[in-house]
Amino acid sequence: MPFPANLKPGVLVGEDVVTLLQYAKDNGFAIPAVNCISSSSVHAVLEAAAKANSPVILQVSNGGACFFAGKGISNEGQKAAILGAVAFATHCRVMAEHYG
């Protein structure tokens, strides 16, 4: 199913997310969520979504976020998980603009 014409490709927030989910519901399709653990997996998903002209949800687990942060950062107090999740989200936002 094509991306709704009234939404700009890239990271969606707020009402744009509601609009996209309603569009999917109205047209009878699901939006896939893909668990990513590295920049390579993020790029693969973004490239596939761009080629299919389809929305996708990128997600990261606690362990994936730790991996994204790197082995050199301790996860005491969830530090690596938090830093990795922020790095993941930032990377996704920057790269989504370029994959369209």
Helix, strand, or coil (residue 34): strand
Residue-level pLDDT at 1: 60
Q: Which residues in the chain land under pLDDT 50?
A: none
Compute the mean pLDDT over every residue in the chain, rounded to the nearest whole number.
92
Torsion sign over Cα 58, 82, 94, 14: positive
**Nearest-angstrom CA–CA distance, 58 and 40:** 13
Q: Which of 78, 95, 79, 77 is nearest to 36 (CA)?
A: 95
Length of the chain: 100
